[in-house]
Amino acid sequence: MSDENIIVKRNGTIFLGGPPLVKASTGEEFVCDPCLREDLGGADVHTSKSGVADHFAENEPQALAMCREVLKYTGGHDAALPEALQLHVEPEEPLLDAEELLGIIPEDNSKAFEVRQVIARLVDGSRFHEFKARYGVTLVCGFAHIHGYPVGIVANNGILFGESAQKGAHFVQLCGQRKIPLLFLQNITGFMVGKAYENSGIARDGAKMVNADQLKRQGKAAMTEKELSDFKKPTLEKYEAEGSAYHSTSRLWDDGIIDPRDTRHVLGRCLRVCSRSPGYGSTGAYGVFRM
C-alpha cells in the first residue's frame, strides 16, 4: 500500500497465503525453518523475483537509513514553489572525475558498459538512490541531484525484459507523482555479444538461410560467399553511415552532439531552464499503480 517499501532480510515477509495456510493446503512446512519462510515470501524473493518490495535491507538500522533516503525525494510543503524546486539542494561536484568517462565508454558500440559508472560521474556527490536495484536489473532507475536539481534517472544496462519494463513504468509514475523531471540515459549495444553468439556466426548464417529460401523458389543456385558478401555490402554501408551520430544530428533529430565530459554541465543548464517554466513539474493527479 506504499509508493516505496523496504523489506528486511529474515525479518520482513509478505505472503498471499501464510505458512499455516500453505501447510493446510499443500503440506509444505514453512513455520520452523527461517530459510523456508524466506523462500515463501522473504526479502530476497520480493526484491529480486516478484518485485513486490522495492528495497532490500540486511538489518533494521540499514532499513532506517534507507527510509531517510526515500524521504529525501518525497517533496516539501512550500506552496509558493513547484514541488521539484522544493527538493533543490546546494550543488556539489561528483566524487568521481568526469574525465574518466572517456575510459568507461568503449569506442566499439557493440560492447556493453556499466551505466552506474556513468551516473556516478554526472550526479552531485556521486550519490544515487537506486529504486528496485535487485529487480529487472537490465534497467537502472533511481533518484539523484544534478547541479542541485532533483532528477529521476532511467538508464538501460542491457537488453530490456518484461520485469525491466514494469519497473520502469512504476518508477516513471513515481516521478510524475512527485513532479521530478526524468533523465533518460541510453546504453544500447544493438547486438547480442558473447562467445556463443560470435562463434555461431548467427548473422551470416541467418542471411544465408533467407536468401537460399528465395533462390530455391526461383529455381536458381545458392549464392557463393562472394555473391553473398556483395549482396550485403550496400545494406551494411547504409547502416554504417546512417548509424553515425553526425547523420542524425545533421537532420535535427536531436539537439546536438556534446563532449561526454560536459554532460553534467549541459544537463544542469537544461534543468535550470526547465525550472523557470510555469508548467515545470505539472502532472495529473493519480496514485502509483504498483505491480
* Average pLDDT taken over every residue of the chain: 79
Q: Which residues pair with 56 in a beta bridge?
A: 7
How far apart are the C-alpha atoms of 132 and 141, rounded to whole Å?
7
How far apart are the C-alpha atoms of 250 and 256, rounded to whole Å?
8
- Compute the 3-state secondary structure of the chain and give helix, strand, coil in percent, each to the nearest 5: 45, 10, 45
Mean pLDDT for the stretch of residues 8-29: 75
Q: Which residues pair with 156 in a beta bridge?
A: 139
Cβ partners under 8 Å of residue 149, min gap 6: 84, 88, 181, 268, 271, 272, 275
How far apart are the C-alpha atoms of 204 and 218, rounded to whole Å?
21
Q: What is the CA radius of gyration of the chain?
A: 25
Angle at 280 between CA 121 and CA 260, to 5 degrees: 25
How far apart are the C-alpha atoms of 134 and 47, rounded to whole Å?
6
Helix residue ranges, H only, 76-224: 83-86, 101-104, 115-119, 162-178, 195-200, 202-217
Mean pLDDT for the stretch of residues 209-227: 68
Helix residue ranges, H only, 143-287: 162-178, 195-200, 202-217, 225-242, 245-250, 263-275
More confident residue, 5 or 280: 5
pLDDT for 128-181, tens place per residue? Answer: 999 999 999 999 999 999 999 999 999 988 888 888 888 998 899 888 888 888
pTM over 0.75: no
How far apart are the C-alpha atoms of 117 and 36, rounded to whole Å?
36
Do 146 and 264 contact (CB within 8 A), yes or no?
Answer: yes
pLDDT band per the 50, 70, 90 thresholds, residue 206? very low
To which residue does cell 502509483 refer?
Answer: 288
